[in-house]
Structure 1
Amino acid sequence: MNSLTDIRRPVALTEEVYARLFDQMMTHGIAPGTKLSVDALARTLNVSQTPIREALARLEAQGLVVKVHLVGYRVAERLEHGRLDQIYEMRLLTEPHLAALAARNIGEKERAELSALWQNMDTGAAFRTPEDYTRFSRLDEEFHGSIAAASGNKVIAEALSALHVHVHLFRMSQPLTAISDAIVEHRRIAAALAAADPDAAAMAMRDHILNSQRRFAQE
């Protein structure tokens, strides 16, 4: 498991800091509600405050951290079930439509990238640890984000970008075997996009979202 220890490589430093903090939040190594000190994080990771602030700004945009006036940052609290239901309502209203648009508009390059993303999920199907799940969550976020981008509707794509992270935080409380079901559902979506079938893509996305919501209801 990645820990909050010294980061030594200078390449893409902000991305490294972001990835380290993201991993810790997704695995609850940094618990919801925890106060975050820019100065303390800079000392712990042995970097300047600049990449810390840039990483925290990105996490804030995703809704993973909250900036509190005159206090600093804290990790966002885990969403209430009612709020999660509202997220799923928005997803059902938008993502099937985006999948249909993507099936019409997607190019060969984007289609190949989506296929590669799904295959990367599938090859890592034996998810056993929170760290495995963090890797899956990144692939899942990229998969859904790529479909939204391929739809051509930037407004909806941007509105959805922060929602998947909170879904993943909820899924951390589920058995990791639930991931295998999501992978099968992703395969249906990818196949519909590969076939350039808007109706099938919309239906596969709708089924995936409903199944994901049902899995949470079983907690």
Structure 2
Amino acid sequence: MKKNISSLSEEVYQHLLDQIFSNQLKPNEKIAESKIAAEFNTSRTPIREAMRKLQSQGLINIYPNRHAEVASFTTKEIQDIGTLRISLDLLSIKLAALYGSRADFIYLQDLANQCLQAFYNNNGYLRRKLDTDFHMELCRISQNELLYQMQKDLSLKIQFILLHYEFPIENEEEHLKQHLTIIDCIMNNEIDKAKKISIQHLMEFYHLDIKDPEEFFMKQENDF
């Protein structure tokens, strides 16, 4: 049975996404439409539809009448993502404290521990995935669909950055343990403490240069 364009496009999308996140396609690498067309025995229409979706997610760049290539990020772009990530996580923490159940937080603890174990096992791919999963789950608990969708869109860029760019952290083990501390604080209703640790956690990772970050982000919250 012949597949329709929409179905083929989704298959191509997943194929390209897998290649990007398995490091088979690297930043700035051109995407060979003719090779993909041969692999899927299809015209270029579903391929271009898939690439437009990846472009909208910030993972590839399309140059009309020339070529498409895997995206790359400047230091400034990565830091902009980090700044937005902090703002979204702070809101997630507040809403998770309001709507989260004990079962939700136990599952978060499990993700945090799995992430830490992946670090101990030197499994960089799994550690990166679980790190992203932790922040996505924290957002899901917020029960705010719009916030969750914003985090979901951002998470693909973050996974890409985690895979392709080095972020030296002085003590990575302690950095990952901060996930567990954040959960403990939320469960103990120490929301401001949870937010401060989250700010420190992400400031360190993204190497952001913001003076008095706690005042900046927490005052920013109060201004809304």
Q: Cα 1:177–1:134, aligned 2, differ >3 Å: closer, same or farther?
A: farther
Confirm whether residue 173 of structure 1 aligns to residue 156 of structure 2: no
How far has the Cα of 1:142 moved from its partner? Answer: 1.4
CA deviations on 1:161-216 (whole Å, 9 max, x unpaired) are: 34344445445324588643431121212223343543333222222112213389
1:84-133 CA-to-partner distances (Å, cap 9, x unmatched) read: 222222223332122121122112443232122112112212364xxx32
Say which one has the larger Rg: 2
- Measured in 1, the distance between the counterparts of 2:12 and 2:146 equals 26
Q: Aligned partner of 2:124: which letter?
A: Y
2:82–2:208 CA contact under 8 A, matched in 1: no
**Which residue in the other structure is 2:200 paired with?**
207
2:137 maps to which of 128, 146, 155: 146
Paired with 1:169 and 1:66, the residues of 2 have a C-alpha distance of 14
SS of alignment partner, residue 73 of structure 1 = strand
Partner-residue secondary structure (3-state), 2:149: helix
Pairing 1:35–2:30 present: yes
Describe the superposition over 1:32-75 as per-residue Cα deviations: whole angstroms up to 9, x where unpaired.
Answer: 111213442365xx556699778756644542223443456320
Q: Check whether the contact 1:127–1:177 (CA below 8 A) recurs between aligned residues.
A: no
Cα separation, partners in 2 of 1:84 and 1:52, compared to 1, 3 Å: same
Residue 19 to residue 35, structure 1, CA distance change in 2 (3 Å): closer
* 1:136 aligned onto 2:127: yes
Count of aligned pairs between the two proteins: 196
List alignment gaps of at least 5 residues for structure 1: 1-11
Give me the whole-angstrom Cα distance separating, in 2, the residues matched to 1:74 and 1:51: 17
TM-score by length of 2: 0.68
**1:15·1:55 contact (CA, 8 Å) conserved in 2?**
yes
3-state DSSP of counterpart to 2:186 = helix
* Identity among equivalent pairs (%): 18
User: What is residue 99 of structure 1 aligned with on the other side?
Assistant: 93
CA distance in 2 between counterparts of 1:207 and 1:176 reads 12
Note the C-alpha offset of 1:146.
1.4
- Aligned equivalents of 1:16 and 1:177: distance in 2? 35
Q: Which of 64, 67, 83 lines up with 1:69 in the alignment?
A: 64
Counterpart for residue 90 of structure 1: 84
For 1:192 and 1:205, locate their aligned partners in 2 and report how far apart those are by CA, in whole Å: 11
Unaligned 5+ segments in structure 2 are: 1-9, 210-224
Distance 1:213 1:127 in 2: 24
User: RMSD of aligned C-alpha atoms?
Assistant: 3.5
Q: Quick check: 1:42–1:48 contact (8 Å CA) kept in 2?
A: yes
Which whole-Å deviations, capped at 9, do the CAs of 1:135-165 have from their partners, x for residues lacking one? 2222122111111222233333323334344
